[in-house]
Amino acid sequence: MKTGAGPVPRRRNPGVPAPSRGTGADPALARRRLLRMALAGAGAALLAPVARHAGAAADSASSVADGCGLSGTCDFSFTRLMYESGDWDVDARMPTTVLDALVQYTTLRVDPVEHVIPLADPAMRLQPFCYLAGHKLVEFNPDERRNFEHYVRNGGFVLVDDCNHDIDGLFAKSFEAQMASIFGADALRKLPPKHPLYSSFFEFDGPPATTFELNGWGDDLVHDYLKGIEIDGRLGVLYSNKDYGCEWDYDWRNKRFLAEDNSKFAVNIVVHALTA
């Protein structure tokens, strides 16, 4: 299996504490309240890097399944959003690849099960991290639109991935239109190369390239940026045309064949979502 060329991640000094949460006034469902629910009082020490060793993923995954996954005391759970208009159920193995990376590189207690919640269900507002992806039309119904806006404006974080890797494709055009309609025409902007996302855990010089970009899939472009929507200086929507979902859509046990673990950037995304 090949890996994409791009910035080489450098892990932060283990002695450097994880980024602290904001200190300003919070709305009703602001990030810290979401984290209190999801982290069950866990502190920043849970984000401390841990050494990778042979068998770590299997051993940790087993302990997680026997522990926090059953007791409900996990620090992180992966929630996929189901929406009516398009093909939301893509990249089926991607969540386990992301969860494995968190198990290997952090001390977060990770729920090993992917959770799927309809965007129209108000229960999605209680999740600290959500994922939305697809290839086809994105056109929110009234309930989906209401929940998406409420969630993002009140402390939630959504990772959105364009599986077409095509800035002129149906998913990209329709999703961007939805964001402009909800948050304003200029709300979705390119993140600067020095955005805290790129140094939240590992150090990256911008977003890593994917093999799909390098092999000419989709629009045959290497997108050297990610886009986002910020609410009061906090990143609420992270939007990618790079097709990270497909890049990480493989059996996590096959990571041992990679020259460089291409899922490390997922750790940055999750840590930033939980701490920024």
- What b/e sequence results for 68-79 when a residue is b if at least 16 CB atoms lie within 10 Å of its CB, and e otherwise? bbeeeebbbbbb
Is pLDDT above 70 for 21? no
Choose among 50, 13, 4, 49: nearest CA to 261: 4
In the chain the domains, ranked by start, together with CATH numbers, are: 47-275 (3.40.50.12140)
User: How high is the pLDDT of residue 216?
Assistant: 54
Q: Beta strand 10-11 with 202-203: parallel, antiparallel or unpaired? A: antiparallel
Interval 143-172: pLDDT, tens: 999 999 999 999 999 999 998 878 889 999
Is pLDDT above 50 for 107? yes
Interval 190-225: pLDDT, tens: 999 999 999 999 999 999 988 766 665 555 567 789
CB 196 within 8 A of CB 272: yes
**Rounded to two decimals, what is the model's pTM?**
0.76
